[in-house]
């Protein structure tokens, strides 16, 4: 079981992601915006952060960059889950430090599988 921080400002999507990951056996915490995500990270680190791109305040890539600069921030897996799908968006996200990228709408079956694969891959390399 991994601990996951879901950073999503749309409450319906946040609920769906949380439900799917809890069903898969993970401990899930949530944040509605980028600053709240960084505050939650400071309170309690987690194994994986799922980040939306477009949120009030800080964007997903900004949150990822700031997270990576914090102590222990290099060790967390980061999945960008966003409606942004242009090549430049994907490039920007990876430049900010994300480990994986999924677009919305997403498959409820695929998300838990991608989470498991990302956690396994990151555990091997870090």
Strands 100-103 and 77-82: parallel
Band (pLDDT 50/70/90 cuts) for residue 125 is confident
Percent of the chain with pLDDT over 70: 99
User: CA–CA distance from 57 to each of 9, 15, 38, 69, 106 (Å)?
Assistant: 11, 21, 12, 18, 24
Rounded to 5°, angle at Cα 4 from 7 and 2: 170
**Tens of pLDDT along 12-49?**
999 999 999 999 999 999 999 999 999 999 999 999 99
Nearest to 58 by CA among 71, 83, 77, 39: 39
pLDDT at position 126 is 65
What are the tens digits of pLDDT across the range 88-117?
999 999 999 999 999 999 999 999 999 999
Cα dihedral across residues 21, 97, 106, 109: positive or negative? negative
Are 15 and 27 contacting, i.e. CB atoms less than 8 angstroms apart?
no
**List of residues 6+ apart from 43 with CB closer than 8 A:** none
Which residues have CB under 8 Å from 14's CB, separation 6+?
Answer: 6, 8, 30, 32
Q: What is the pTM of this model?
A: 0.94
CB 28 within 8 A of CB 22: yes
Written out in words, the top-level CATH class of the domain with range 3-121 is alpha beta
């Amino acid at each position: 079981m991994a601990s996951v921080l879901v950073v999503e400002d749309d409450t319906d999507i946040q609920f769906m992601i949380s439900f799917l990951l809890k069903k898969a056996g993970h401990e899930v915490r949530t944040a509605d915006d980028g600053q709240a995500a960084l505050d939650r990270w400071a309170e309690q680190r987690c194994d994986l952060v799922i980040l939306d791109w477009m949120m009030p305040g800080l964007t997903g890539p900004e949150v990822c960059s700031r997270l990576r600069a914090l102590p222990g921030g290099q060790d967390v897996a980061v999945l960008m889950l966003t409606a942004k799908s242009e090549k430049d968006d994907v490039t920007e996200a990876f430049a900010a430090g994300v480990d994986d990228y999924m677009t919305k709408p997403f498959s409820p079956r695929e998300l838990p599988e991608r989470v498991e694969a990302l956690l396994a891959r990151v555990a091997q390399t870090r």
